[in-house]
């Protein structure tokens, strides 16, 4: 089977190398960065395709011979890239976390007979799969809560944060209004609001704040209380609020000495070097998903805990592992016919499909990613 991976950044490269381990897959990596492609060729038996993936015509050419496409481009490119792949009639798994509504492409995907799994990273992604699976174990869902974050293990002033994604994508989380559900109604609050301290085993005290991470769950999960919060070291949210309120995240150009400067682009450029994970720097990913509901008259709470660290054996950062491997596992499920639903498919659809969640846990185990699931009875 021919699989084309669009994007060869830190996460995209992890996706490429994981898929290339399968002798049944012929993997092609496409990216505009020739150095990234050359490096990947020394690390995995793949074909490379230097390509400007912002050009829809180029994307259509690159995926023309693919049986399955994995999209790992930056968020601002994601929607148009996914649209182009669907128009080409190719099944796909996407991690780009684009701001547009993916369901706007559902009719097109249905017409083309395409399975398009979107938002298939760790959050959104794995947390949605957990929610979908937990839903199948309950008669009704009352509450969904997700805490998630990726952080450097060693804290360094002033940001105490590093990223495997583009800083612009991270900053998008700090500016986009956070939508969640209270008493069955949608509620919107500013990103970085409602800061609380959270204690997590093996990690200690982190702060959690509102971000716009529910996405498709607001449409697909019938629960009166739903919320996602991002985890960082304490103090990070306040620092980012200062940046935001001072205009450093503004996408509109401002005049400086007769030149137009876009604050967001400048801030992203300045932060990129400071937020870049070094090749051997240890990062970790931590996530807690809580789903409460009723089954047979009992109130149950199911908790999923994920903790993962940088893997020195493969020199792969944790956020790349947890994001990328979720995508590759689901890609294998699509390729192998375990998941076959057509149209735009958020990951909770995967979690609802018999066998998919169990298969995902088995594949995680093979990659030394641990997920702990516990269920408690809260009452009748």
Q: How much is the pLDDT for 164?
A: 66
pLDDT at 323: 95
Q: Are 340 and 142 in contact (CB under 8 A)?
A: no
Question: In 251-342, which ranges are continuous DSSP H helix?
Answer: 263-275, 318-335
- Residues 105/116, Cβ–Cβ less than 8 Å: yes
Evaluate whether 328 touches 15 at the Cβ level (below 8 Å). Answer: yes
The pLDDT value recorded for residue 202 is: 81
Torsion over CA of 239, 241, 171 and 128, rounded to 10 degrees?
Answer: 100
Q: What are the residue ranges in the chain where pLDDT is below 50? A: none
How does pLDDT run across 146-158, given as a tens digit for each residue? 999 999 999 989 8
**Residues 23-56: pLDDT tens digits?**
999 999 999 999 999 999 999 999 999 999 999 9
What is the structure's pLDDT at 77?
Answer: 93
Pick from 293, 310, 308: nearest CA to 376: 293
Q: What is the pLDDT of residue 166?
A: 67
Q: Given CA atoms 225, 203, 374, 134 in this order, what sign does their dihedral have?
A: positive
Closest alpha carbon to 61 in 37, 88, 80, 83: 88
What's the rounded Cα separation, in Å, for the pair 17 and 47? 12
């Amino acid at each position: 089977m021919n699989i084309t991976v669009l994007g060869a950044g830190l996460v995209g490269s992890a996706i490429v190398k994981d898929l290339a381990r399968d002798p049944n897959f012929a993997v092609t990596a496409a990216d505009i960065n020739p150095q990234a492609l050359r490096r990947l060729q020394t690390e995995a038996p793949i074909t490379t395709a230097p390509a400007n993936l912002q050009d829809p015509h180029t994307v259509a050419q690159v995926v023309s011979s693919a049986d399955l496409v994995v999209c790992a481009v930056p968020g601002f490119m994601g929607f148009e890239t996914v649209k182009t792949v669907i128009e080409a009639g190719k099944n796909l798994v996407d991690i780009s976390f684009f701001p547009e509504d993916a369901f706007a492409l559902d009719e097109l995907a249905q017409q083309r007979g395409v399975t398009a799994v979107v938002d298939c990273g760790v959050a959104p992604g794995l947390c949605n799969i957990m929610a979908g699976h937990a839903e199948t174990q309950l008669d009704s869902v009352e509450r969904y809560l997700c805490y998630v974050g990726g952080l450097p293990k060693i804290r360094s002033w002033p940001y105490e944060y590093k990223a495997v994604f583009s800083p612009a994508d991270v900053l998008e989380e700090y500016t986009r209004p956070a939508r969640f559900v209270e008493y069955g109604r949608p509620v919107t609050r500013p990103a970085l609001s409602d800061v609380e301290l959270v204690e997590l085993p093996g990690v200690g005290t982190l702060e959690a704040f509102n971000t716009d991470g529910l996405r498709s769950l607001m449409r697909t999960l019938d629960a009166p209380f739903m919320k996602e919060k991002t985890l960082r070291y304490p103090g990070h949210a306040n620092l980012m609020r200062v940046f935001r309120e001072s205009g450093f995240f503004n996408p509109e150009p401002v005049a400086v000495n007769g030149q137009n400067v876009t604050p967001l682009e400048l801030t992203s450029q300045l932060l990129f070097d400071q937020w870049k994970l070094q090749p051997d720097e240890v990062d970790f990913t931590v996530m807690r998903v809580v789903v409460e509901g009723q089954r047979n008259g009992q109130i149950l709470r199911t908790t999923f805990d994920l903790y993962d660290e940088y893997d020195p054996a493969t020199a792969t950062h944790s956020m790349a592992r947890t994001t990328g491997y979720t995508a590759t596992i689901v890609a294998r499920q699509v390729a192998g016919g375990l998941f076959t639903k057509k149209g735009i498919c958020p990951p909770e659809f995967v979690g609802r499909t018999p066998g998919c969640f169990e298969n995902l846990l088995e594949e995680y185990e093979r990659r030394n990613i641990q997920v702990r699931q516990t269920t408690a009875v809260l009452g009748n």
